[in-house]
Structure 1
Amino acid sequence: MARVLILFAHPALHRSRVNVSLMDAVQGMEGVTFRDLYEEYPNLHIDFETEQELLLEHDVIVWQHPFYWYSAPAILKEWQDVVLKYGFAYGEGGTKLAGKKVMSALTTGGPEEAYQREGYNRYTMKELLAPFDQTARLCGMEYLEPFVIHGVRQLTDEQIQAWAQRYKQCILELRNL
């Protein structure tokens, strides 16, 4: 059984019915560590040594967050800048993460059709997620197909629960790799 580390980053969780449901669906699962970065580091002072130890203890990393301005919330970017250091994650001697798998789990406000060449965002999700893919590649990790929920503001409670169950199933599949 693979060990899964979910790095959760949502600066306004109280306003996100979807992310609360996703979080609830996976917390307490065997082999899964759920880490709320904003709760852990409210001042954004990330303990890179602790975070690196966690990375070493897990086989699969999930970056779970809302897709803000075509990227991640500030704390996840800070986490990447501070934790994925030269000599640890990449560069000379930086092979500690080689062979691990990483996946983005995202929520968007816009509908799926907005993330197409013809859509109002002009780019596909694959194109917009290229920096995450390249970060994984630079670190020797395999970037998996992202788990994306579009149009979260329009979802009914029933649809949210269905997505939460799909997310739980996705995490179970990652754990069973």
Structure 2
Amino acid sequence: MTDRLPHEKGFHIAWDQIHRDSRALAWRLDGRGPDDGAWRAIVAITRGGMAPAMIVARELDVRVVDTISVKSYNNQEQTDAVVLKAPDSDLMGDGTGILILDDLVDSGKTLELVRKHYPNAHFATVYAKPKGVPMVDTFITEVSQDTWIFFPWDMALQYVEPYRGTDA
């Protein structure tokens, strides 16, 4: 097996790790909402933001959860970000009191697009790459720009060749 993914580095996240990191994000966000520290609602950027949003909503006891669907990848190739489904407009307003969550900020294009619609929302991600850091208000872990993050919902267990060398 000699074929490799086109990405130089891979960072594999297991379900227990995304759960721990999402809980850490919730703790960092606790008390930072504008309504006596509370958030009016959480909006998950689909699809990657859905698992972290569920965990953060549980930890912070936020019962109103909606989604915004943004397509910015075609498989593993980045494309122009496009909103496919917007959250309830009465809920959103200009974003005040809304916590918008995603799993990762990469180039920042997705968050830039969403921020144009909801400029007063608070943007949080579990993971962040350097190009995207300016677009996110709160995150837990920064990884290098050339790292490809493999999330548990994208993986199946299988053999993987060593990064360097093929000797057994």
TM interval, short-chain normalised? 0.3 to 0.5
Normalized per residue, which structure has more strand? 2
> What TM-score does the superposition give when structure 2 sets the normalisation length?
0.39
Name which one, 1 or 2, has greater alpha-carbon Rg. Answer: 2
> What TM-score does the superposition give when structure 1 sets the normalisation length?
0.37
